[in-house]
Structure 1
Amino acid sequence: MHILIPVYFNAPLGGLHENVISSSRFMVSKKHRVTVVCKSGPFGDRLLAEGIGVIEADFSLPSFSSVFFAIKALHAEHPIDLVHAHPFASRQLGMMAAQVLGLPCVVTMHGKYVDALPDTIGQLDGVFTVSEGIRQYLIQEGGVAAPEKLHVIPNTPDVQLFKPARRSAKAGRKVTISLVTRLDHDKAFMLEIFYKAVAHAAERYSGRIHWQVVGQGTLQEELTQCVEQLRGDNSVSFTGWLEGEALRDAYQQSDAVIVPGRCALEAMSCGVPAIALGSKGYSGLVAPDTWQQAVYTNFGGVGDKADGYSAGAVERDLDTLMTSARNRRRLGLFGRRITQQLFNPNKAHLHLLGFYRLVVEAHKADPRAPVPRSEFLELRLRGLDVARQRPDLLVLGHRCERPETLSFAWYLFRDGEVVEKFMYRPEPQREISLPGPGRYEVRCFVQDEHKRRVSFIGAEVVLP
C-alpha cells in the first residue's frame, strides 16, 4: 500500500509532527510506502532519515498546482492507494488530489476546530479524532451530520524512547516542575495558568521549587520576563526546544510536568506525574479521580479556556504534588499505567492500518469517478509573480490556465485597514502604488466562469 500524507503546520516541530512520524514509521516497518507532503526543514529531514518519502510544499494557494503535478507524477510511478490528510491547507490539497486521481481520502482532526468538515464529510471516507471529546465536539457543536464516519485513534508516545529512569531522592533537593510546550500565541491560555502556578509557588513554597521551561516560540521573551517577576526565591531555567533523547531526559529529570496533549503522554510514559493543560482547557492533575476526563479531552485539547477554568484549580493541584515525593511517585506510576492500557502505539497503529485496508477495499468495490482537474480553481493557478519596480510600486501578475475565463480583484491593506480596492476585471496583472509609509498586504481574489472564488495573500511589504 502507498499512503500519501499532506501535513501543514506553522511551528517547525511539535505534537502533530510526532504523530505523523510515529504512524509513518510503523507503516514503513510493515513494508508499506509512505510519502509526506510538507514544508522543507527539520521535519522533512527527519522523515527522509526514516525512509519516508517527501514532497516539499509551502502550502500557499498558488503552489497547489505545482504540488499536485508532483503528486500526479509520483502516482504514475508508484500508485497511491490512499490519501490521509491533516487539517486546513493540507486537507484542502489532499482532498483535491484524491478527487482528481480517484482515490479514497481520510482526515485526522487533532483539536477543537471544524475546518469545513460539515461541508466536506460527504467526500471523505473517514475522519479520525485523537480523543472522544473531540469527536463529541464535532458532532454536537461542529455540525457534522455523519457521526458514523468519525473514529477515535489516539496519539501515542514512543514507548521505546519515553520510559522511566531510576532517580534517587536526595534530601533538600528542589522539586523540579517542567512546563513543556510551544511558546506561541495559540498557547496563551496555558501560559496564563502557568503564571498562576508560579505565583502560588513563590508564596507557599519559597525556595523549594525549580521551574524548567522546555520550549520556544514567539512569546518566549514575554514568558521569561513574567516568570522572573513572579518566581520569588524559586529558581528557573530555560532549555529551548528539545526533542528525542534530550526531551526524554528533561521529562525523566522532572518531579512533575505541566503539559498539553502528546507531551502529557510522553511524560506519563516516563512515570512522571502530569498536570494536563492544553490550549483549549485545563484538565488538571492526572489522578485516580480525574484521569478519564483528561483522556476524554486529549489532556486539555477540548475546553472553553478561561470560561471553563475553575478558579484556584492549578494551585490546588500544585499543593497535591508538593505533599510528598511518595505521592508524586504514586501519581507517576498511575499515569504510566494509563498510557500502557489506553495509548499503546502498536495497537493504535494496527487499528489505523486496518482502517486503511478497509477504506481501500471499500473504494475498490465502489469507486467514485475522478473529478476533472478543471473543477478546482486552485489547480488552475500556476503562481503569482511579484515585482517591486520602485519602493512604492508593486507589479503583480498571475500565471494561470485559461486566464481569459477568469476575473481578478485586489485589496490593498495598510496596517490592517483597507486603503484601496480593485474590483473584478479580466486582467491578471495589476500595478499597485503604496500611498506612504506602512506595513502593506495585498490580498488577491480570483473568480472563474462558474462564479467559484478563491483568495490568498499575494504580497506583504513594508514601506519605511
Structure 2
Amino acid sequence: MRILLIIHRLLQGGGTETHVMNLANQLRRRGHQVGIFTSGGLWAKKARELGIKVHQQKFTSKQLSQVILRNNYSVIHAHDTRSLRLIEHTEIPSKTHAFLTIHGMYIDGPLIRRCLNKTSRVIVVSPALQTYVAHVGVSSSKVTLIKNGISMTDFKGTTNKRLRARYRIPDNVKVIGYAGRFTLQKRLLGKRVVKILEGISRSRRDVWVLVAGRGSQLSVKNSVRCRVLGHVDDMQTFYNSCDIVIGSGRTAIEALACGVPTIAVGTKGYIGPVLRSTWLKAVKCNFGDHVLNRMKWTNEKLRNDTHNLLHRSNRVNSELKIIYRRVRLQYSDITKVKEVEQMYSNWLRPRPVYRRGSQFPR
C-alpha cells in the first residue's frame, strides 16, 4: 500500500508525534511505501533517516492534493486538528481512502462531523474517546478503537544508572520522575506536580526528582535534589533511572512497560497508582489523558500515593508484575500496527462482483 500520514508539525516528544513516527516506521518495515505530509519540525530529519518520505510543504489543501496525485497514495491518514481541516477542504481522489485518528478531546466535534463524508473510518485511541465522538454525533458504525502502541523493544526494564551518574545522584536514594510536555494546555499541571515533588524532596534527603519534557526548562528550575532535563530523546534511560514515574497517556504506558511503578495523572484526571484496582479506569481514559468531566484531586493525595509507592508492600509488588505483563500484552506497537494495516486493507480490497445466476461472488 501507498500510505500518507498527515500531521501539522513533527515536534519532538509529543504523544501524537511519537505515534505518527512509530506508525510510519512500522508500516515501512512491513513493506508499505509510507510518506508523512507536514509543515516541518525537528523530527522531520529523523523521519527521513528512518527511510520515510517526508513531504515538507505549506500545509494547504492545494499542496496536499498535489502530493496525493503525484505519489498515487491509496491511503491518507490525518492525526491532528490542522490535518482534519485539510481533509475537510481537500478534494480526495475516488481511489484514495481517508482515515482520521482522534488522539484527544481537544479536536472539535463539529470539525470531526464535517470530515465524515470524506472519511472511510474514524479511529479512537481510548474507550473515553469512543464516548466523546459518539457525543459529538459520530455513528458507532464509523468508529474503530485501536489503542496507542509502544515499542516493546525500545521500552523494557534494564539496570541503567547513566542519568544518576550524570546528575550526581547518589545510588542509595529514591528517584521520582515526572515526564510531560510543558505546553500551553499542560504547563499548569506540570508546574503543580513538580512543586509537590520538590516539597517531598526537601523534606526527605533520600528522595531526588527528575523532570523531563519539552518546555520543562522554561517553566521550572533546578533546585535542591530536583533536576530539570528538558526534552529527553532516550526515555527508556529516563524511566529506568526512576523508582517511580508520574505522567499520563504514552508516558504512563512506556514507564509501565519498563516495569517502573507509575502514578497516572493528566490535565483533567487523576488515576493514582496503576494497580489492579485502577487498571480498567486507567485504560478507559488513556491513563489520565482522556476524561469527559474534570476530576478534582488534592496535593495531599499525590503526596500520599507517592509515599505509599516508595514504601510498597509485597502485595503491591505482586500487582505491579501483573500490570507489567498486561501492558506488554495489550499495548505492543506491532499488534496495533497490524490492526491499522488490516483496517486499511479492508477498505482497499476490491468488492466481490456478483453475476446474475451466480450463487457466489467471483
TM bracket, shorter-chain basis:
0.7 to 0.9
Matches within 5 A, 1:5-20: 5-9=5-9, 11-20=11-20
1:292 aligns with 2:283: no
Which residue number corresponds to residue 69 of structure 2?
A: 72
Matched-pair contact (CA < 8 Å) for 2:187–2:219 = no
The residue correspondences of 1:10-89 to structure 2 (distance < 5 A) are: 11-59=11-59, 63-74=60-71, 79-89=72-82
Change (3 A) 1:335 1:258: same
Taking only the aligned residue pairs, the percentage that are identical comes to 22
Distance 1:364 1:242, change over 3 A: farther
1:214 to 212, 215, 220: 212
Q: Structure 1: how far apart are the matches of 2:57 and 2:281?
A: 38
* Aligned residues of 2:146 and 2:336 also touching (Cα < 8 A): yes
Alignment pair present for 1:149 and 2:142: yes
After superposition, give the CA deviation of every residue in 1:24-58 in whole Å (9 maximum; x if it has no partner). 12211221111110132331112111221110034
Letter in 2 for 1:265: I
8 Å CA contact retained: 1:197, 1:318: no
What's the CA shift string for 1:431-451, capped at 9, x where partnerless? xxxxxxxxxxxxxxxxxxxxx
Taking structure 1 as the reference length, the TM-score comes to 0.67
Tell me the residue number matched to 1:381: none
Asked whether the equivalents of residues 10 and 44 of structure 2 are also in contact (C-alpha less than 8 Å), the reply is no
Q: 2:241 — aligned with what?
A: 253
Task: Specify whether residues 268 and 363 from structure 1 end up closer, same or farther in structure 2 by C-alpha distance, changes over 3 A only.
Answer: farther
Equivalent runs, 1:237-276 vs 2, <5 Å:
237-243=227-233, 246-276=234-264
Q: What is the identity, as a one-letter code, of the residue corresponding to 2:158? A: A
- Equivalent residue, structure 1, for 2:341: 353
The two structures, once aligned, show a CA RMSD in angstroms of 2.8
Q: Which of 119, 124, 144 does residue 119 from structure 2 map onto?
A: 124
* Counterpart position of 2:85: 92
After TM superposition, give the deviation of residue 279 of structure 1 in Å: 2.9
Post-superposition offset of 1:130: 0.9
Does the Cα contact within 8 Å between 2:198 and 2:209 map onto a contact in 1?
A: no
Partner of 1:175: 174
- Give unpaired runs (5+ residues) of structure 1: 229-233, 366-464
Q: Please state how far the C-alpha of 1:336 moved relative to its aligned partner.
A: 1.6
| Aligned residue identity for 2:210 | Q
Please state if 1:223 is matched with 2:220: yes
User: Quick one: distance in 2 between partners of 1:182 and 1:113?
Assistant: 15
Work out whether residues 262 and 273 of structure 2, in 8 Å CA contact, stay in contact via their aligned partners in 1.
Answer: yes
Amino acid at match of 1:122: N
Cα offsets for 1:152-191 (capped at 9, x unmatched): 11111111111011479x9982210111111112113422
- Measure the CA separation in 2 of the matches of 1:39 and 1:250: 30
Q: Distance in 2 between matches of 1:69 and 1:181?
A: 36
SS at match of 1:184: coil
The 8 Å contact of residues 245 and 262 in structure 2, kept in 1 or not, is answered as yes
1:308 aligns to 2:306 (yes or no): no
Whether the aligned pair in 2 keeps the contact of 1:256 and 1:321 (CA below 8 Å) is: yes
Q: Secondary structure at the match of 1:176?
A: strand
Q: Is the 8 A contact 1:193 1:314 kept in 2?
A: no
Specify whether residues 137 and 272 from structure 1 end up closer, same or farther in structure 2 by C-alpha distance, changes over 3 A only.
same
Q: Structure 2: where are the runs of 5+ without partners?
A: 162-168, 354-362
Verify the 8 A CA contact 2:245 2:261 in the aligned structure 1. Answer: yes
Contact 2:246–2:264 (Cα < 8 Å) also in 1: yes
Q: Give 1:112's aligned residue.
A: 105
| Residue 96 of structure 2 corresponds to residue 103 of structure 1 | yes
From the superposition, tell whether residues 362 and 91 of structure 1 become closer, same or farther in structure 2 (CA, over 3 Å): farther
**Offset at 1:324?**
4.0
1: CA distance, partners of 2:81 / 2:325: 34
CA contact (8 A) 2:37 2:57 kept: yes
Distance in 2 of aligned mates of 1:269 and 1:196: 27
Matched letter for residue 9 of structure 1: R
Q: Within 2, Cα distance between the matches of 1:27 and 1:8?
A: 20
Q: Tell me by how many angstroms 1:210 deviates.
A: 0.5
Cα 1:220–1:252 shift into 2, 3 Å = same
Amino acid at match of 2:295: G
Does the Cα contact within 8 Å between 1:200 and 1:315 map onto a contact in 2?
no
Contact 1:287–1:331 under 8 Å retained in 2: yes
The residue type paired with residue 144 of structure 1 is: G
